[in-house]
Chains A and B, each alone.
Chain A
Amino acid sequence: MTGPVLEGRDIKRDYHVPGGLFGKARTVHAVKGVSFKVDKGKTLAIVGESGCGKSTLARIITLIDAATAGELLIDGNKVDIARDGLTPELRRKVQIVFQNPYGSLNPRQKIGDVLGEPLLINTAIPAAERRDLAMQMLKKVGLEEKHYNRYPHMFSGGQRQRIAIARALMLRPSLLVLDEPVSALDLSVQAQVLNLLADLQDEFELTYVFISHDLSVVRYIADEVMVMYFGEAVEYGPRDTVFGNPQHAYTKTLLAATPRADVESIRARIARKRAA
């Protein structure tokens, strides 16, 4: 297959805040003309701090919200959900994993039903086969068959994130949007989930859009990096270029603010403290 799996051209998103009784209505520009391109099997990381529009962009790419302006192309075809609505075929192509593993699973739904739901809604696969597919996927993400009939509250954060990933993969999407998938997890569990994501990417030839505020995670997982600041993409390029030779002042600030855990920086800090 040639051409990018996902392409965005000058995507904009405005929110209208109604005025209410006092104050007047205003428009918030959450995303101000962002363009990007991701090839099959690659990972684009979108980095930024809270309020920079990265989650809004994630919702647009996942076809939850429509963009105010701009073009979104998936597998080379133009997609406009505001005009054409959303077809099941399109729905199957893009899926999302959310940040909070405690909020993204319905507390009253058994794991088996969580995994079976996308198939039930979008396909005509019979129940027995759905169950088999769900079991297979459970094992793929490192869980066991006995977990099929349990409720979400019986799982740890890391396990829930595995379930959320499994659900996203049930429809065999080509594009997976990961909205801060490891931010809420402990360091050791974070490593497990990142490894799992890498394995799944190889196995299913997945394309990832990885949204994060954590530069060390991004440096580890991304092929390309886009830095967003107040709705704009201030820096966009291959990982090594962005980290090795940042151009924009904000990227530099971001890199400088990330805590360093190497021995040399600790030595330098202690030396500074002694001197003071």
Chain B
Amino acid sequence: MNSANTKTKITKKDLFKANWRWLWSSQICWNYERMMSTGYLYTMLPTLKKLYPDDDDLIEMMKTHNQFFNTNAYVGGFIVGMDMAIEEKEGTKAKDTVAGLKTGLMGPFAGVGDTIVGVILPTIFGSIGAYMGLKGNPIGAIIWLLVNFAVLFLRFTLLPLGYAQGEKLIYAAGDKLNRITDAAILLGVTVVGALIPTVVSAKVPLVFQSGKVTLKAQSVLNQIMPSLVPVLLVALCYWLLGKKKMNSTRLIVCVLIGGIILGGFGILSK
């Protein structure tokens, strides 16, 4: 805990190195016990070696960074950046601060990152891509690939931003982030609404005959509402997911079997 280590400066090159390591390693050794702890440690390792020439300090801080950590990898670089700024200034004295900061921020960051990068982006671009892909058109898939490259570029800016701005920015941006997340969700929900009638294909091919009058079930349904069957199926699945013992995997199995049975008996068709 000598004071010499506090004079070591973190350079732009160090930031880039950490950024690069975070990109490749944050989840590389993900495990059930401490999740992203190893990835965090691997990212910090060059910085730690630079800041703590003393072996005991180094071991102490390596232990600190190999504790439970789990957040969204896309935005987690921001936390690493803040951590680097604090350790550069305070050294081993910041041990508890850093541990608290990591555990305090990983949840909110996971919330924002998982929602926007993990759900809303795949919803929007997955919907467009799948809609085109079902017709054999690769343009949607290619757009999505380009978007992913753009996201890759953007996430590289977060770690230096965290280093430069630190806590200040988090508090200032809290409100704004909420609104951006909400607006993104709104966009996602709109796209999902359009998804129901376009990608779910289910018709009722039954034909009823009484005397000379034939009644086609599907044309009756169409008069009530277009895509009524897909809407009802989505509502049914939504309701089922609210049941206690239902999860996504079970639901997929149920729908697969249900589809085979209904299709086999000719009650539903594509």
Does B associate with A?
no
Interface residues in chain A, defined as those with a beta carbon under 8 Å from any beta carbon in chain B? none
Task: Name B's A-contacting residues (CB within 8 A).
Answer: none
